[in-house]
Each structure stands twice: as C-alpha cells, then as structure tokens.
A and B are shown apart, each in its own frame.
Chain A
Amino acid sequence: MSVLVNSDTRLLVQGITGKSGSFHSSACRKYGTNIVAGVTPGRGGELFEAAVPVFDTVGEAVHQTGANATMIFVPPPFAADSILEAADAGIPLIVAITEGIPVRDMMRVKAALQGRDVTLIGPNCPGIITPEQCKIGIMPGYIHKPGRIGVISRSGTLTYEAVWQLSSRGHGQSTCIGIGGDPIHGLTHRQAAELFTADPDTDAFILIGEIGGSEEEEAAAWIKDHCDKPVAAFIAGATAPPGRRMGHAGAIVAGGKGTAEAKIEAMREAGIAVAATPAEMAETLLKQLP
C-alpha cells in the first residue's frame, strides 16, 4: 500500500517538452516512474526520450495510454487551463508543480472541480513520492527510503530536510506529499492526514506547516478526534514579520491571522508533538513511536 501513488501509477506529463518538464520527466523515469505519455499542444506524434509518445491533447493521451495520473509543468498563464483539461479527461490524480499561478485562476479551478472525483495536489509544490515505486515531482529521489512514515508539507526543501532526517536515522517513508505553498490549492493538510490515518502501511506521520491560512489548525482538530497514530509537526515562520509574503504566496501573517504561535498551540492542543526546531522533526516523531 501507500498513499495515492504506487507502482501501478501510469503517469502523463503535461508540458513534457519544456525545459523543466523534460528535465524532471527524465529524472522521474530514471527513478522508475512509469511515464506513459506526454502532452504538448502542437507536438503530437513526437517521442520523448525515444520512448514516451507525445500527444496534442490530454483526452487523446488518456485514451491511447490509460494514464491515471498527471504531472503539470505548464507555465503559469496556461496552467489553470491544463488542470481543467486533465480533469475533463477523467484523470483522477493531478499533480501541479507550476509555481506562480494567479490566485484568481486557482479560485476558478477549485470551483470548477467541486463535486468531481479528482484529487489535485499543488500547485507550487514539489510533488508526491512513494519511495522505490513512483516519484511524481521535483524532489531528489535518492534521499527517500521505503518505509512506514508519512510526510505532509507545504514546502519543498523543508520536506527534503525531514525526509533526510528520517532516512539517515534508518526510518523509511510510506509516501511523502508536498501540498504546495499557494493560498488556494488542492489537497489540504487535513485531507492528507486522513489518507495517512487510513493507510494500513503508514504507522505515523510528520506534518510540516508554515505561517498563513488556517489549514494546520483544521488538520489538528481532525487529528484530535480521528487519528490514533503518532503525529509530529513543525511550523515554519515563527520569526517572520507580519504582512510580508515569505517567498510562498501563501506564507503571510495578515490581520493577525495565520501566526505560527496559533498553529503550534492548535497542534499541542490536539496532542501532536511539535518540534522546537526544524533540526528535530524526525527525532520528535521517533520519540512517539512505541
């Protein structure tokens, strides 16, 4: 088992011929991800790395290859359209890596996806990986080890830090999910926590949040009532000045809301062990294990 992706995942890449798209598609294939198709409008009929057929539309790619997940590298002005195209073609898992999509576009995408059976991860995220089975995204594959710890995070490199701490202490990961740093995005902390709680092959998980919004509080409230597995958390941005966007579009304390203090308090309230520093994310979780 694992969460959302495994060795049966048949991946499509939207924007496979672009600079980042081709670089990371290549890295995912080397890792062992089964990339069955690419889409770049106007480039249909080509082969990526002499092996992966490129199509003009997502619908055609799904029809021909049976792709059941997509990774999006399309530039920001066209990315919202690409997400809608993937949903329209019936792909159940959409991973949007693209950074810099306008909030208004994501608002409309989320409204359009309401009530449809599709999971969107991202945008502005590192992706999702089930070690040694399927890597969808831009994370360095080699730091991951197969195992039974889940990782959920809004940030890229901070996730790598947590994974590295786990792997170097001999603890592998079931699945690691980067949910993305934008204010309006797909899979939430709470939804990811639900997936790991339900997964029989995940024993415990780390939740990495940051300032801005209220998702960490919502996840904490859900965990308090529904999750018996050990959970550790870290919240980045305790020292961030209010009103400033800290790199991620969503990482901002505005109007006194979304502070690290409030999130840490909510986590503790829910019985979650909170790491005092980012250097102790793995240790904090491992101490909770039986």
Chain B
Amino acid sequence: MNIHEFQAKELFDRYGVATPAGKVATTPEAAADAARAIPGKVVVKAQIHAGGRGKGTFTNGFEGGVHLCDTAEQAGEIAANMLGQTLVTHQTGPEGKLVRQVLVAKAVDIASEFYLAVLMDRATERPVVVASPEGGVDIEEVAASRPEAITREPVDPLLGLQPFQARKIAAGLGLPSDKIAAAAKLILSLHELFASCDCSMVEINPLVLTTEGEVLALDAKFNFDDNALYRHPEIAALRDPEEEDPREVEASKFHLNYIGLDGDIACMVNGAGLAMATMDIIKHFGGEPANFLDVGGGASEDQVTQAFRILTEDPNVKAILVNIFGGIMKCDVIAQGIINAAKSIQLKVPLVVRLEGTNVEQGRDLLAASGLDIIAADDLADAAAKVVKAA
C-alpha cells in the first residue's frame, strides 16, 4: 500500500520526524491561505502517488507538478492550475492521474542532501537503517557505482534502535558536530515510526541540512506490511483506491489476489506460486499474461464467478487459461463457478481449462455436460500451448 506525500508528512509530524512547515489544500483559496501562514517562499506540490511530478505535464497544458511561489496569491494561482486536472509523468502512463489535493510547504534553501531509510531486511531478519551522504539521487545508482558511500546499521529485533547507533549514523553522514543531536533525534523518531506502524520500508530522499541549519525530511516513501494493517486502522484508512488499478480494487472486494499486467492472456489459478509459474509458462510458449490472479486455497463458487467476471471485463484479453490444482479447493466447485460465470456473462474469447487434483473427474464431467465451448487441457504444458495458440 502506498500513501500520499501529505499523509507521510502527517505521520512524520506525529512521530517527531522534522519536515518543512506545510499544509494540504483541496481548493486554490485554501492553498493561498496555507501559503499566507508560512513565512517566505512556498512550494506547491501536486499530490499523486507516482513519481516524476516535477517534470510532468498536465493534460490542460500546464507544465510541472511542483512549483516554487513567491507570494500566497501565486500559490493560489498555481493550485488552480493543478486541482481537478490530470497530471502525466513517466510513472503514471499516458492516461495520467487526477490531482485532488496539493501540498503547500515552506521552501527551504538546501546546504546539503543525504539519504536515510529504515527497512526490514529478510536476510538478517531484522530492520536495518540505510544511510548515505549522497542524497537526492537514485540510491540504486549510488549502490552500484559507489557502494562504500552507503552504510547499513542493523537494528536488534528485541532491543530496537539504540541512541548510540543513531549518533553513529548521523556522524557517518558527515554532518557538523552541532547538528548530530538533531539528526540522531530524527533517526530515532523515524525508527519509532517504522516499528510502531509496522512499516516494511520508510525512505527519506533527500534528508537535508538547510542553510539555516535545520535537519529536515524533504520527501518520503512508505511501504507497509499488509499483514499488519488489521492492527492499524488509521493507516489502512490512508489507502486511496483512486490511485490503484480499478481491476485490482474490484478484485480486492472479493478477497481475490489480482495484479493487472499488459498482456492478452488472462489466467485464473489457485495458489500464488502456481499462479506465478502459470504466467511464466504462458510467456515460455510465446504469450503475454494479462494478469496474476490467485483465487486462494479455499475459494467459494461465488469468488470463482467474480474472478471470471473481472478477467473478462479486461478489453485486452484475447483468451483465458484456468489452471487449478485442487487440494483444499475441489475441482467440481471450480467447474461450477466457471459454468455460472460463462452463462451469466456471454463469453466471447476462447477458454482453456486445466483441472487436476481433488474431485477432478466430477469437475471435468460438469464442464463436458455444460455445453460450453471449452478447450480441455491434459497438463500444464498442454494448457499453456493451447491458450497461446487460441489468443
């Protein structure tokens, strides 16, 4: 789950991670008011999840999703050009994203930029604080070209981050002595936020030292552990379905695990590993998967019907592959779901079905007796070859 920049700022404020003063606005008037309350220049930033906002273009022709403003009136005018408009960046795709909020924040003069992140490291099974004096640039590039410029401080899973570690990280960034205490406080607060909110990653890029001597987080990226959202309703509420693939939002209503892709062969599989492997084998036979869809270990007939409906609503889909290895899930239940769905939504594309496992004979009999035009497959390779040919 991703969150907006203004939401990240609110989380930072709550945990004491210092950021430039600022406020979110949904109207030009509110943006101007917010700017008036901030001394000096402000930055107006369009709020969408995708990156590359500064270099983006609105579909109304307005250039740039991030603007520096000298006056409150100017901030209001800029906000008027952004709000209700669609911003296209290299990450949004050509359709762009609708801007419904802008963040108005104090503009700061940057003396130096750093990189700071806390993330859950699977290999060592503990959080690690990653820091670099090379901030404001792509950290992957720094990791590749100058790995010695990145430090990694492991966090004890039971003790948490200790103050001496925070000071060590701050000193390692090359901050002046009189700024180490402020930076260490920010690092400890960031870890506290990471731990308290069950984040899998919080990244600040850049962390800056201003010419006025403040240490501030200028931008943030969050990832949360989806498994832990049940105990953080306030964070789950930050989810913005408008920013997500509508097919994925629809699937999540029925507890289906769906990820939209760009290909033309839809697939419906039980189990995440087998679903990935099914995508792989479609590709191996020269096709392109239109989605990842795991209906889970014990899907009901209704879930199968809904899954089928979502697959067939994608206009790119030219053929469908159903691959089920019945364990807990019974093949006859799957078959009945397919029959129900195919009857209620007139199926216009070829359907290849491969069933194996529990109650496979009943499942195959049901499909054969249904009168539906189904291409039966003997095994995984046969199924993939047939669906690629049909598409």
| Chain A residues engaging chain B, CB cutoff 8 angstroms | 76-77, 100-105, 107-108, 110-112, 126, 138-140, 143, 153-161, 164, 181, 183-184, 208, 210-214, 234, 236-241, 244-251, 255-256, 260, 276-280
Contacts and interface: CB of A to CB of B under 8 A. Distances in A.
A100 B271 CA distance: 14
Nearest to A248: B272
B120 A183 contact: yes
B226 interface: yes
A146 B154 CA distance: 45
Given A110-B157, A157-B325, A184 B271 contact: no
Contact of B280 (A160, A214, A239): A239
A212 B200 CA distance: 14
A161 B379 CA distance: 10
B230 A76 contact: yes
A241 B120 contact: no
Given A102-B198, A164-B356, A279-B384, A111 B277 contact: no
B225 A103 contact: yes
A246 B226 CA distance: 13
Given A104-B225, A155-B271, A277-B284, 8 more contacts: A103-B198, A107-B125, A112-B158, A140-B358, A212-B122, A239-B283, A246-B275, A246-B292
Contacts of A181: 272-273
A238 B283 contact: yes
Contacts of B327: 126, 138-140, 156-157, 160
Nearest to B196: A104
A26 to B, nearest CB: 12
Contacts of B384: 277, 279
B259 A241 contact: yes
B270 A108 contact: no
B375 to A, nearest CB: 17
Interface residues of B, number: 53
A63 to B, nearest CB: 29
Contacts of A244: 259, 292
B157 A246 contact: no
Contact of A158 (B157, B257, B277): B277
A159 B274 CA distance: 8
B37 interface: no
A155 B328 CA distance: 14
A236 B277 contact: yes
Contacts of B269: 157
B366 interface: no
21 contacts: A100-B227, A111-B158, A126-B327, A140-B357, A155-B271, A157-B269, A157-B325, A157-B327, A160-B327, A160-B357, A161-B277, A161-B380, A210-B273, A236-B273, A240-B292, A244-B292, A247-B271, A247-B294, A249-B225, A250-B122, A276-B284
Contacts of A143: 357
Contacts of B277: 155, 158, 161, 234, 236, 277-278
Contacts of A212: 122
B140 interface: yes
A101 B272 CA distance: 17
A155 B157 CA distance: 27
A277 B273 contact: no
Contacts, number: 170
A113 B347 CA distance: 53
B235 interface: no
A94 to B, nearest CB: 16
A278 B272 contact: no
B281 A279 contact: yes
A277 B357 CA distance: 20
A102 B227 contact: yes
B390 interface: no
B123 interface: yes
B350 interface: no
A104 B272 contact: no
B288 to A, nearest CB: 9
A155 B274 contact: yes
B206 interface: no
Contacts of A104: 120, 195, 198, 225, 228
A241 B294 CA distance: 16
A237 B280 contact: yes
Nearest to A237: B276
B389 interface: no
B272 A103 contact: no
Contacts of A245: 226
Contacts of B28: none
Contacts of B158: 108, 111-112
B187 interface: no
A76 B380 contact: no
Interface in B214-235: 225-228, 230-231
Interface in B349-391: 356-358, 379-381, 384
B136 interface: no
A211 B276 contact: yes
A164 B276 CA distance: 18
A167 to B, nearest CB: 11
Most chain B CB within a 10 A radius of its CB, from A102, A104, A155: A104
A234 B157 CA distance: 32
A247 B227 contact: no
A156 B271 contact: yes
Contact of B228 (A102, A157, A234, A246): A102
B140 A246 contact: no
A279 B297 contact: no
Listed from nearest, the 9 A-B pairs whose CB atoms lie closest are A155-B273, A247-B272, A157-B271, A158-B273, A102-B228, A279-B381, A278-B277, A157-B274, A111-B157
Given A240-B292, A246-B276, A76 B122 contact: no
Contact of A279 (B123, B226, B271, B380): B380
Contact of B122 (A112, A155, A184): A184
Contact of B272 (A108, A164, A214, A246): A246
Nearest to B326: A140
B280 A158 contact: no
